[in-house]
Chains A and B, each alone.
Chain A
Amino acid sequence: AQSVSQHNHHVILSEAASLELGCNYSYGGTVNLFWYVQYPGQHLQLLLKYFSGDPLVKGIKGFEAEFIKSKFSFNLRKPSVQWSDTAEYFCALRGANNLFFGTGTRLTVIP
């Protein structure tokens, strides 16, 4: 069965700190992976996606993620966070015709 795990429930960082949010998936086939962000009061927005090719994918707002097949991971990174990055972050795995989401990680950035 396909599933996604996000073990960091709440992360608190100061501005300019580096960020890494963990995402592990369970699936033995070809994977399509996504990171979505949900800013307070706003809808889910796509940060980045991995379908194939270069395992290091770059997204919007300086975010990047690395697909490591041997570790079943797709961690999200940003070298220097800003207060405006405060949001809920969701990792997702593509199913046959749906997305499997993790439980999300709430990021709080302190000015």
Chain B
Amino acid sequence: ETGVTQSPTHLIKTRGQQVTLRCSSQSGHNTVSWYQQALGQGPQFIFQYYREEENGRGNFPPRFSGLQFPNYSSELNVNALELDDSALYLCASSLDGTSGANVLTFGAGSRLTVL
């Protein structure tokens, strides 16, 4: 089975720009979550998508948005980038977003640097 793949692996943007990060979920998984991991911190939950709809969101402003496609892949979009958005963005997939007991499989992440 294939794991979770993310692209791009690294990117550099300037303040005010917009960025799109992509994620392909593990085969058989229908739920995708996005996390932000700032340097020296643990991952922070951004949001989760299940059956193409957002079904949970952390404490992130609306300029963080996402999509899930029929093949369960997902995008994270961040508008009006700020310096504090510099972080590793992790995508995780799981089976059945409504189950509290499912286990997340993480991708390697996309490292975003905002200058």
Interface residues of A (CB under 8 A from B): 4, 6, 32, 34, 36, 42-46, 49, 51, 90, 92, 94-104
Partner pick for B101 among A4, A42, A51, A92, CB 8 A cutoff: A51
CA distance A32 to B48 in the complex (A): 18
Instruction: Supply 8 A–B pairs (Cβ within 8 Å), ascending by A.
Output: A32-B101, A43-B107, A44-B92, A95-B45, A97-B50, A97-B98, A98-B45, A99-B104
Contacts of B43 in A (CB 8 A): 44, 90, 99, 101
CA distance A98 to B44 in the complex (A): 9
Tell me if B45 and A99 are in contact (CB < 8 A): yes
Tell me if B100 and A96 are in contact (CB < 8 A): yes
Q: Smallest CB-CB separation from B6: which chain A residue?
A: A43
Contacts of B45 in A (CB 8 A): 95, 98-100
B15 shortest CB reach to chain A, Å: 26
B72 shortest CB reach to chain A, Å: 16
